[in-house]
Structure 1
Amino acid sequence: MTHYVEDFASGANVLPPRSWLDDDSGRLPLSGDWSFRLSPSVADAPDDLKDPDTSGWDTIAVPGHWQLSGYGKPAYTNVVYPFPLEPPYVPTDNPTGDYVRTVTVPADFAGARVVLRFEGVDSRFAVYVNGEWVGWSSGSRLVSEFDVTELVAPGKEARIAVRVHQWSTGSYVEDQDMWWLSGIFREVNLLALRPDAPTDVFVKAAWDHVDGVGTLLVESDVPGTVSVPELGLSVATGEHTRVEGVQPWSAEAPRLYDAVLRTAGGDVRLRIGFRTVAIVDGIFTVNGNRVLFKGVNRHEFHPDRGRTLTEQDMLDDVLIMKRAGINAVRTSHYPPHPHFLSLCDEYGLYVIDECDLESHGFGYEPQPPKLPNPVMDPRFRDDLVDRMRRTVHRDKNHPSIVIWSLGNECGMGSNLKDMYDAVKELDPSRPVHYERDTEAEFVDIYSRMYTSPEGCAEIGADSNLYRNLPFILCEYGHAMGNGPGGLLDYREVFEKYPRCQGGFIWEFIDHGLRTTIDGREVYAYGGDFGETIHDGNFVCDGLLFPDRTPSPGMHEYVKVIEPLRIVADGNRVAITNLYEVLDTSHLTFSYVVEVEGVRVDAGSLQVPVIAAGETVTVDLPDVDASKPETWVTVTASLTEAASWADAGHRIAWGQIRLDEPALRPARPAGVGADGEAAAGAAGVGAGGAPAEGVAGVGGISVGGLRNVRLDVWRAPIDNDTNPGVAAKWREEGLHRVQHRIVSQGERDGAWEVVTRTAPPQLQWGLRSTWRWTAVDGAVVLELSVVPEGLIPEVLPRLGITFELPKAERVEWFGTGPNEAYVDTRAAAAVGKYSATVAELQTPYVRPQENGQRIDTRWATIDGLRIEAVGELFGLTVRDWTTHDLETAHHAAELVPGDTTYVTLDIAQTGVGTAACGPALPDRDKLKTAPATLAVRFTTH
């Protein structure tokens, strides 16, 4: 009986959807070891589940994925289906897993309706209990319940058999950008639903920001009384009640009230958050306040367990978000485990709860020979509407959910309108989102992905566009590899135009699966398990690495979205409170004064309480600003511990320079800090001067420098590779330049070497003049680079690279502590730092350019000191070459040798987000132009 595998329906004998409840139902958890058998296809799966002999079967853990338990292999695709598009049919080679477990039904289940509940099974499954067929269900990330009362006897054993299929008709609408992983991956429970006990409850709690009064209505399929002790409230179900003195729920102040619904058949414990979501004059509001979404897209993921998460994993995610200042989550692209939503209620995160729906591989329009996307196909209509209803019913009681989402990247079709109508019928209190409704025909929020800041500004400035709906970026700031860059540009738009209400970074975490390749532990991505159809490392595009450590992109996002703006105001400091509702009474302000990276003063800064949306200006401490590199850093920290962070946790910071800069910061060629042309700005890059004549000048050794050369190439980052920028650079020969000495000799008291750096075949080059001068026990290099011929418009980088004997530690004065590039430097603070060479590397899952510290003043690498003389330089120190970095597939392949490689960049092209986003703006490109570099080398 396997006809259901290719059925358009969503299930058979499945109970109607209902809310997730914390109630008195008897519960027998079925997590643990199950007997397991995997067959290569449906046809190969024995027809024996009515009475299977499992003596020769294996054992598998539930919840879990069979591909991560030694059966089959994971596969990653982003868009393309790994099977032909011919719904409802699926491949004959359809791995089928059989799960069997025998349990004793608790004796106290007597008299109750016994329900078998599955929280999540991928992708379609059938159930047998004690030899009887029960039913089947689809919707991998949705709850399925079956009534098995007549098939079990309390106090006696029950044999539960579940047949799970990797592919089904449901797979056509579950084409999310993630690993294809199968099995019973969320919990299974046997429930005892008592007679006259509620099974479906809908809490409707609102708050009026005008009069400060709450309202409460609790609907239940079994009548009862709702008690809220803290409010002295006792009210019957179905009764609409005004509640005085209630505090509203918001992401910043997640006030919850414990309540109990008491009925004749049992109790239901509730956590009530009073809040009202509304759209007013084109602005999305919560409790009357404009919300600015500082969000992330979150897949459920763990590097060892895939989409099977523990409660600790979920708490870790929420705590990371709260500590980062993230205030919102889009549950891409399916409803998450219900416990995660409870944590969002408790700790305070706005949630866009998304239906388990994506059909990206069909494209957005019907394709020849007229193959419609499932949202256009009437055969899928009932299943899609059912998926939406199941989402809303399960999750409707979470105050954290402020928006429902129909799904992701499915094009447009009438089935979506029917889903929208179903939501509005069930819950008209929340707006509905769907990004591919490009003309805002039936959504309540206008949404786009990866629109440029300029495009966002156009929408924000014109209220006639898209019915003047609130506008969000449901995905932006694609965090793949080195990046995302340019986040400050988006922040400026969000703060300028009220209608532009922020967005959600794609995405929260890299989906690298921990495995071993060639004896090395690595995080695997598409193709690493032998898949022939895959999308490579596109699955690794998160703010966190797979082990949940933050990437530099996360540090950058934290700084960009911090809730206070701390900036200079003359010789004072202006502090703006960007919170939605909180004032600053929970924060302590402090300052540190440093001169050339050395602390000279520190203390508390007296700041009056700042209301939300207000700015105050306060005096800085008296500081001698005559000394070079005098910086004051002002920090706001938690005064007392919060539920999500310890006392002293940093909330925001700002750095103010008090002296006049003597050296200019690095920036792309021909562009000043204000975006206008700047005379004498840096430009050009690559290649170099051979070692002859430069390793020592006038008998003075230069710290073991070897093979000094001009460098114009970087190991392409994902934002170079995916949009084809790196391919263009290769066409221009930038990856294989050669170096020729034009002349060398003594000239005007310096050893002068003229080189030409150029690629084979092409008619352009860079003529460089290297002047090495001995000055007071040091050697000063003055480099001048002039482009010649049909030059490339843009260079990856411009700088010099040289080799040193293996070095261990680097100390530097400049930006840090993490890597920073011209468009990812918001989180970079000027200071004095120290790290090992290994610690300077950023372990992106796919190796690429990383580790630059922009605007370095000086650095010491073991015994060698390098100082900027003219403009500041970007510092990169590695134990491997750029070629090693470029050709490695995983970080574990990069093994230190006996040489350390140092690059001093005049400038480098920005990183952007073009792997999935707008092209890099001209402002952040390194345009080919004359350039100079001056540095002093000393040894000690």
Structure 2
Amino acid sequence: MKRNILKIILIFAMSISFAEAQDLPHQKPEIVTVNTETPRSSFYIQTKDEVKSGVSSINSQHVLDLNGEWKFQFYNSEVDIPSNFNSPHFNFSAWGNITVPSNWEMEGHGIPIYKNVGFAFKGNGQMPDPAYNPSAIYHKEITPNTSWDGKDIYLRFEGVAGGVYVYVNGKEVGYSEGSKTAAEFNVTEYLNVGETNQLTLKVVKYTSGSYLEDQDFWRLAGIERDVYLWAAQPSHIKDLNIISSLKNKYKDGDLNIEITLSKPNSSKLKWELLENGKIIKSKTIAQVNKTILKVNETIKSVKKWSAETSNLYDLVIYNGEEAVKTKVGFRTVEIKDHTLQVNGQYLLVKGVNLHDHHMTRGHTVTREDYLEDFAIMKAHNINAIRCSHYPKPSFFYELCDSLGFYVVDEANIEAHGFGNDSQYYHPDTTKSLGYLPLWEKQHMERTIRMYERDKNHPSVIIWSLGNENGNGQNFYKTYDWLKENDKTRPVQSESANHFTNTDISAPMYNIAQSGLDYVRDFDKEPRFQRPYIQCEYAHAMGNSVGDLKEYWDIYRAHKILQGGFIWDWVDQGILTKNEKGEEFFAYGGDLRASRYPNDENFCANGLVNADRKIKPSLLEVKKVYQNINFTLSENKLMVNNEYSFLATTNYTLKYQLKENGRVVDEKKMKLPRIQPMSEKSVTLQQFAIDNEEEQFLYVAVYNEKNELVGEEEFLIQEKKYVSQLSDAKADVEMLNNEVILKSNTTQWIFSKTSGYMVAWMKEGKNILQRPFKPTFWRAPLDNDLGFQIYDTLGVWKKANDFQKLLSFEVNSSSGKITALFDVGVAKVNMIYQMDDQGLLRITMDLFDITTNNHIPRVGINYAIDEKFNQVEFYGKGPHENYWDRKTSAMMGIYQLNVSDFDFEYIRPQENGARADVRYVKFTNGHSIYGEQPFLFTTHHSVLGDYQDGPKKGQRHSTDIIKRPLTDITIDHLQMGVGGDYSWGAWPIPKYLIKPQDYSFSIELK
């Protein structure tokens, strides 16, 4: 009874606590901010002399950088925070420190949780329970310079994950949530200039707004972006709205500037437009006690901005002794003739989705991180970035402006856990936040804050209302607001794909064929006449991104299909160590989070690893996305220039004749000038064709910087297969349970009981570690597990693992051994024939198939001694490639170590294959020749090391065992890796293996 009374008291106390917490701003959906400034565009105020002398804005005397060490205390529950933490007399001296910006989970406080769909707290529509809301107190002493006396002083947060309460010298200043856009507070009356001031922050991880931050990423908290104070004279430039478009047939710049002052004054403002430091336009603006001043000027023959020609001008506005300097890019974005156009020119969107992620810092990314990403993107023909699923730090847009990327800026709104209008399940309109008036302000403020901060960046060509939501009235209102306030950009919404509040059809994970359906339905209704640009496609999870070429063959054939954004750029792996001290990348369920709901390795969908190591799939993207493409007819090469703005001026064409994988002749020529979005035919000098040898023509184009911008390969002459098996047969020796095929140097020993080869004797030593066996199964890819491969194709795993010998026949006169196996759903003949030189021909016949299930692979697997650790092969390479992902790999002769075939996907799976292989030569004398091209894989590990059971285990690269053997698989066929999406999509039909008879042969020596 006593225990029950205590329980009742405890529940009552908790309910009081929760009830009291409802009065706090972070528990109220209708409250997003308290006492914050009106959102504005990103710029810094400096002195006039600083701007003229080139002092960086962050080093201005008007700015006090607050990044660095802060006093810090973490609490598992917000109710544990001491009530007097904001007292100016509170003693913080015993507290530890944390670096700002950072996520506190990455600094050892709390547990990082990864979710794709759903909430990391009890997301039943109730507000997060304070008793289970991780929170923290930050504290820093700050001393504004005495030169700030009499100025207005502002505290700016570029991004705080969670809700932040601000206190200065014990007084509450205000509150903000909405983690991915800036919040600014006027702290003039709270600070004592020239003295030490106490700045204290309370950050709660979960707020009412967390329901709108249900993105596919790690759920992390803390001050994750820059924090600083800035000061300016009482009448300072408060905001800038710059519209720098084109007119007069896109030749001249149309510069419109709206300057908002904090207070009217009578002094004159002056503005200058500079190109490479030279003033090209300058004027003075006379004030008549206004707070809004407008400029409209024509800039003749302006240099235009695009992702290919990222021309920028400097705009400087002087306001007395203060100045603002910002970049201006002149460009026009339109939807014209049912297509998205920039500067009047059609373009193809060759994009990726980008999360903010660093392998040790979580969501805290730096300018240097972006520069690394952007350099890799540029090198791989990526021209567009979708800000999935929230605005990025301000310097992201500055870099996109200067380097040249088209950006879809996306509002920090995703309530996926409540449903999604345009995908497989629809929201309950009584619960989904997009439909509820109570949540209108949350939607509006997040949209407006994005727009106001980023409106002046030329790289932003499209606004996005958010991601994976119910498309209720709140989204119609955000759409209407953007269209009313910005006449210069289209607005898209994935959730509005079939509705009126989007200017672009932006579906996700439509298969390539859906594009043809869209074209077919063009005349049916207006929604089929919008530009079709997939906001997400080609899900790059694990070993993936198959059939990308098939997408782009369709996109290139129909102008209304303008490309899309691959999901996504970087694996969201977190670098950690196991108990042995070995490093690996953690994913959902790791890092003490196994007891929490999580979505495992679904956070690892990148074209690059978390450490930015390039995946083989990115090389395929580079090839498919390339802007110079080719077709060949006899000696006429048609060169297509897919750039929107760049002509092939001073480009060089190089072409080579490859014979059996080796370059035997090479020529080059200056490429004629080909205008953007056009093509020209080039006549190539003819090479001598040898009808006996295999020949390929390789063509490549280099720009004026000698960068490869396009390549292709054409088969000129196919070589006919000729068996190397001689008529002189090997000796056959019959023993009780074994049969031996003998030559002078080699013996192949077979078991009559198992039907397998059990030994390969070379110079008196057995080099065979595992017998030659028919193989039908691969270590399941993430895509395979998505379509439930153990259920759908599991009969072939049994065929791989359980093989029953039916008969074993030896023909002594021909030196031929035939082993017939029952593999459950089919029969297999393994036929061996050896000549007197030790060459062994193996033929595998698959027949009498009794299932309609497709086959994962048809091949032969075996293992030899680990000393065979170096490989030469003639085939597609040098990087990993598969049946449906090999257009980027060129035919050649490549030398690699066996370890080079390993690619460490974050979750172990099939990897390392090379397609269209003609021969393989190992060190120490082992060679493999195909009767036809084959797929080749080799590792110092075996199939079982890479595979999970029907359900994923929490496995990592450190779980792969390096064994004292060299495992080899020769595949006649292996189904494609797939890549449309990873939760049910199969490889497309042309890359599936039909259940029918197959026969192939290889020759070994």
Q: TM-score, normalised by structure 2?
A: 0.87
Change (3 A) 1:702 1:771: farther
* Among candidates 847, 856, 865, match of residue 805 of structure 1: 865
1:525 paired residue number? 587
The Cα shift of 1:774 comes to 1.6
* Among candidates 630, 648, 664, match of residue 584 of structure 1: 648
Query: Are 1:874 and 2:910 matched, yes or no?
Result: no
Show structure 1 runs of 5+ residues with no match.
Answer: 641-647, 665-687
Query: Are 1:255 and 2:272 matched, yes or no?
Result: no
Aligned equivalents of 2:788, 2:757: Cα separation in 1: 39
* Among candidates 367, 379, 385, match of residue 438 of structure 2: 379
The Cα shift of 1:703 comes to 6.1
Change (3 A) 1:30 1:696: closer
Aligned residue identity for 2:937: T
Change (3 A) 1:650 1:467: closer
Which deviates the most, 275-284 or 725-734?
725-734
Aligned equivalents of 2:412, 2:763: Cα separation in 1: 71
1:410 paired residue number? 469
The Cα shift of 1:408 comes to 0.3
2:780 paired residue number? 716
Secondary structure (helix, strand or coil) at the match of 1:398 reads coil
| Alignment of structure 1 residues 781-860 onto 2, 5 Å | 781-788=842-849, 790-806=850-866, 807-860=868-921
* Among candidates 98, 103, 121, match of residue 83 of structure 1: 121
Show structure 2 runs of 5+ residues with no match.
Answer: 1-19, 47-59, 262-267, 286-292, 723-751
Aligned equivalents of 1:858, 1:629: Cα separation in 2: 13
1:922 paired residue number? 989
Change (3 A) 1:690 1:838: farther
The Cα shift of 1:701 comes to 9.2
Change (3 A) 1:723 1:201: same
Secondary structure (helix, strand or coil) at the match of 1:617 reads strand
Aligned residue identity for 2:87: K
Which deviates the most, 621-630 or 287-296?
621-630
The Cα shift of 1:791 comes to 2.0
* Among candidates 129, 136, 139, match of residue 175 of structure 2: 136
2:483 paired residue number? 424
* Among candidates 716, 741, 747, match of residue 658 of structure 1: 716
The Cα shift of 1:340 comes to 0.9
2:81 paired residue number? 45
* Among candidates 168, 175, 185, match of residue 224 of structure 2: 185
* Among candidates 342, 357, 377, match of residue 286 of structure 1: 342
Q: Assess if the C-alpha contact under 8 Å between 1:845 and 1:891 holds in 2.
A: yes
Q: Structure 1, residues 493-528: CA drift from partner, whole Å, max 9, x if none? A: 211111111100000000000011232211001111
1:324 paired residue number? 380
2:353 paired residue number? 297
Aligned residue identity for 2:708: R
1:27 paired residue number? 63
Q: Percent identity?
A: 31
Aligned residue identity for 1:224: L
The Cα shift of 1:793 comes to 2.2
Aligned residue identity for 2:178: G
| Alignment of structure 1 residues 152-171 onto 2, 5 Å | 152-171=191-210
Query: Are 1:56 and 2:94 matched, yes or no?
Result: yes
Change (3 A) 1:732 1:822: closer
Q: Structure 1, residues 175-205: CA drift from partner, whole Å, max 9, x if none? A: 0000011100101001102222212001111
CA RMSD across the alignment: 2.3
Aligned equivalents of 1:300, 1:142: Cα separation in 2: 13
Change (3 A) 1:702 1:650: farther
Aligned equivalents of 1:87, 1:928: Cα separation in 2: 49
The Cα shift of 1:736 comes to 5.4
Aligned residue identity for 2:558: Y
The Cα shift of 1:740 comes to 2.5
Query: Are 1:593 and 2:593 matched, yes or no?
Result: no
Query: Are 1:744 and 2:800 matched, yes or no?
Result: no
2:699 paired residue number? 634
Q: State the aligned residue count.
A: 903
Secondary structure (helix, strand or coil) at the match of 1:221 reads strand
Which deviates the most, 546-555 or 224-233?
224-233
* Among candidates 574, 584, 593, match of residue 513 of structure 1: 574
2:7 paired residue number? none
1:106 paired residue number? 145
Q: Structure 1, residues 452-494: CA drift from partner, whole Å, max 9, x if none? A: 1111111123323415111110000000011111111110121
Change (3 A) 1:167 1:285: same
Aligned equivalents of 1:232, 1:187: Cα separation in 2: 34
1:224 paired residue number? 269
1:569 paired residue number? 633
Aligned equivalents of 1:507, 1:588: Cα separation in 2: 33
Which deviates the most, 103-112 or 261-270?
261-270
Change (3 A) 1:867 1:313: same
Secondary structure (helix, strand or coil) at the match of 1:333 reads coil
Aligned equivalents of 1:802, 1:818: Cα separation in 2: 23
Query: Are 1:545 and 2:545 matched, yes or no?
Result: no
The Cα shift of 1:94 comes to 0.7
The Cα shift of 1:313 comes to 0.2
Q: Structure 1, residues 121-175: CA drift from partner, whole Å, max 9, x if none? A: 0111101011111111000111011111011122111111111111111110000
Q: Assess if the C-alpha contact under 8 Å between 1:710 and 1:757 holds in 2.
A: no
Change (3 A) 1:698 1:241: closer
Change (3 A) 1:209 1:302: farther
2:499 paired residue number? 440
The Cα shift of 1:33 comes to 0.7
2:1000 paired residue number? 933
Aligned equivalents of 1:376, 1:403: Cα separation in 2: 24
Aligned residue identity for 2:208: T
Query: Are 1:15 and 2:79 matched, yes or no?
Result: no
Q: TM-score, normalised by structure 1?
A: 0.93
Aligned equivalents of 1:209, 1:547: Cα separation in 2: 47
Aligned equivalents of 1:287, 1:728: Cα separation in 2: 50
Query: Are 1:610 and 2:671 matched, yes or no?
Result: no
Q: Structure 1, residues 716-738: CA drift from partner, whole Å, max 9, x if none? A: 00110022234322256547531
Aligned equivalents of 1:930, 1:698: Cα separation in 2: 34
The Cα shift of 1:209 comes to 6.7
Query: Are 1:233 and 2:285 matched, yes or no?
Result: no
Change (3 A) 1:869 1:31: closer
Q: Assess if the C-alpha contact under 8 Å between 1:315 and 1:340 holds in 2.
A: no
Q: Assess if the C-alpha contact under 8 Å between 2:569 and 2:608 holds in 1.
A: yes
Secondary structure (helix, strand or coil) at the match of 1:43 reads helix
Q: Assess if the C-alpha contact under 8 Å between 2:902 and 2:912 holds in 1.
A: yes
Secondary structure (helix, strand or coil) at the match of 1:251 reads coil
Q: Structure 1, residues 704-726: CA drift from partner, whole Å, max 9, x if none? A: 47411000010000110022234
Change (3 A) 1:691 1:706: farther
Q: Structure 1, residues 539-596: CA drift from partner, whole Å, max 9, x if none? A: 0001011111111110111100100002322133221111111111153322333222
Which deviates the most, 151-160 or 555-564?
151-160
Which deviates the most, 187-196 or 333-342?
187-196
Q: Assess if the C-alpha contact under 8 Å between 1:512 and 1:523 holds in 2.
A: yes
- Of the two, which has the highest radius of gyration? 2
Aligned equivalents of 1:473, 1:357: Cα separation in 2: 19
Q: Assess if the C-alpha contact under 8 Å between 1:175 and 1:359 holds in 2.
A: yes
Query: Are 1:309 and 2:365 matched, yes or no?
Result: yes
Secondary structure (helix, strand or coil) at the match of 2:238 reads coil
Change (3 A) 1:521 1:869: closer
Query: Are 1:461 and 2:497 matched, yes or no?
Result: no
1:890 paired residue number? 956
1:684 paired residue number? none
Q: Structure 1, residues 223-280: CA drift from partner, whole Å, max 9, x if none? A: 7332113362124551322221112111111111122122235211121111111111
The Cα shift of 1:423 comes to 1.2
Aligned residue identity for 1:144: A
Aligned equivalents of 2:680, 2:478: Cα separation in 1: 48
Aligned equivalents of 2:232, 2:984: Cα separation in 1: 50
